[in-house]
Each structure stands twice: as C-alpha cells, then as structure tokens.
A and B are shown apart, each in its own frame.
Chain A
C-alpha cells in the first residue's frame, strides 16, 4: 500500500532563511506520481508541482525547488530565501498509476506547517 510520511510537523524560520520540507514515500509500483500542495492560512489547497516517477530531474521554479530521489524514496521541497507569504501548511501526496494496477487515488501526508517570521 502507498504511504506518505512528512516527519516534520512544524518548522519555524526567520525570513530569508532557506528551508527544506521532507517527504518520504512508500510504494510497490514502478509508475507513480508525486505532488506538493500548499494550504495558506486562508484555507484553500493550491497545487504546486507534479512529478512522474520516471523523471528524476530536479525542478526549480523561482524560489521553490524540488529534489526527487528514487534511491531514498524522497521528494523534498526547498524554499530559498523564505518570505512571510510562504507561511502555510504544505502537503506531499502520492498516486500510483492506474495502468500498472495502482490504487490511482492520491494519498496525502499529514502536512508540514511552515511559519516564517519577519
């Protein structure tokens, strides 16, 4: 069965610090998708990134970067030069591929609350 672990319940940093949010997953499938979502204090859930299991290239989008490592079953998220607006709960999720018999329903981690102090 698929499982997502976000061991960091809460992280507190001061503005401009870099911060990495950890995500470790478990799956027996060879084809799967990994996701990160952001939930700001206003409560909505915002999609950030989707990664296919066959694509281990790191991705950078502005101050955000994602490090996908199949060898350690991790999909970590780094925010560079954090800002107060980055304060939110961040969720990592995993879905297994329908075509290869996976559950195809995303499983979410419990989330990491990031607090960025001015």
Chain B
C-alpha cells in the first residue's frame, strides 16, 4: 500500500462549489504539506503543518483552507472553487531529523478541474 494517499484522484466541479481534498499517510511523519502544480510553474506551496496544532500559510494560500485532523491526516478545502484553481494538487510529508530531513514524500496527486 502507498505511504501517502490522496482522495479523490480526479475531480471535476463547478464554480462556487466547496471542495475537500484529503491526504493520509502511514509514514509516521509529523510534517505535511499541500502543493499545487501548474504547467511551467513548478510546485507552489499552499499550506504546511509541522504537527497537529501547527498550521502555516504558504505562498499561495488565498482561496484555500486546511485542517490537520490527526498526525496522519491533512485535508485541503476550496471554500468556493474558481476556474483558476484548476490544477494538480499534491500532498507531501517529511521528517525533521536524521538522514531524511526535509525529504518530501508525495502522494499520487489529485487532478482538480473547476468549470
């Protein structure tokens, strides 16, 4: 089974709808992240969380919110989706210590289309 899972994998929705993307991990990592990927723009950070009680905005948090329900779960919400939020969304996890410090492990991605 995958260490980092995302649901749904694909979603088509309409402008104005509320959407939630979910991420779960079995890696035991404290840190979790949400990124969006747009062609030619690489990965841009939306939100990140270093533990259940720590939530931080990334470079493009407007229009998004997150919830860290447990160490293993980090969800991303679009309160009122708009077409320019059409993108590929990735969840990632990492640890802070040891040989894997800051190495990000990504989920398979969620392709979101907002019509």
A33 and B108 contacting across the interface, CB-CB below 8 Å: no
Residues 91-112 of chain B: 1 if any A CB is under 8 Å from the residue's CB, otherwise 0? 0100010011111111011010
- What's the interface size class on B, roughly? 20 to 34
B41 part of interface (Cβ distance < 8 Å): yes
A106 and B42 contacting across the interface, CB-CB below 8 Å: no
A60 part of interface (Cβ distance < 8 Å): no
Partner of A106, one of B40, B88, B96, B104: B104
B74 part of interface (Cβ distance < 8 Å): no
Contact A43 to B48, CB < 8 A, known contacts A95-B102, A108-B42, A108-B43:
no
B100 and A105 contacting across the interface, CB-CB below 8 Å: no
B45 part of interface (Cβ distance < 8 Å): yes
B34 part of interface (Cβ distance < 8 Å): no
Partner of A35, one of B33, B45, B90, B103: B103
Contact A110 to B102, CB < 8 A, known contacts A43-B108, A44-B109, A98-B96:
no
Complex Cα spacing A33 to B102, Å: 8
Binding site for A on B (CB under 8 A): 33, 40-43, 45, 48, 58, 88, 90, 92, 96, 99-106, 108-109, 111
| Cross-chain pairs A/B with CB under 8 angstroms, 9 sampled | A35-B104, A43-B108, A44-B109, A47-B106, A50-B102, A50-B103, A105-B45, A109-B42, A110-B42
